[in-house]
Amino acid sequence: MFNKHTLKVLLGILIITLILNAFSIPIFKYIGLIICLHYFIILSILFALINLIFHLLFMYFFEKDHNKFLKIFLILTIAKILTYLTILVVFIFKTGSGVKCFLLSFLVLYLIYTFHEIFVLSKYLKKYKD
């Protein structure tokens, strides 16, 4: 389960998180939206952890029985989306301020980490197929 591919994914997620946070700090400070910066940093760490956990789960179940790829992928994708939805609902109902910043940060990070996941999985499956 913890092989060369998993190490590359871990490193990729770590690099993406560090780059996003490094660029977001001066941008949000320049714009003057420090509250958005806090949401962005917390969400980027949360997205990194969630993506890493779900990727490890995917690799575990895929290596166990690779013939059920589609079923495993769909179940884990639905579980990840429900996790994200839970985070959104809890935040929106818990606080009344900064919802726009939170949602914008959430959307940007969701797109970035989803594209990374698609790229990594398609590369892995292509290599596995060959």
Please tell me what DSSP assigns to residue 66.
G
Average pLDDT over residues 2-19: 84
Instruction: Characterize 32-59 residue by residue with b for buried, 16 or more Cβ atoms within 10 angstroms of its Cβ, and e for exposed.
Output: ebeebbebbbebbeebbeebbebbebbb
Banded model confidence at residue 95, pLDDT cuts 50, 70, 90: confident
- Say how far residue 57 (Cα) sits from the centre of its chain: 14
Measured between alpha carbons, how far is 49 from 17 in angstroms, rounded to an integer?
A: 10
Average pLDDT over residues 32-44: 81
Reply yes or no on whether the pLDDT at 56 is more than 60: yes
For residues 110 and 16, is the Cβ–Cβ distance under 8 A? no
Q: Helix, strand, coil shares of the chain as percentages rounded to 5?
A: 90, 0, 10
Write out pLDDT tens, residues 68-94. Answer: 878 888 998 999 999 999 998 988 888
pTM of the model: 0.85
Q: Give the percent of the chain with pLDDT over 70.
A: 96
Helix 99-129 vs helix 34-64: crossing angle, to nearest 10: 30
* Residues whose CB falls within 8 Å of the CB of residue 54, separated by 6 or more in sequence, listed in order: 76, 79, 80
Domain segments of the chain as ranges: 4-129
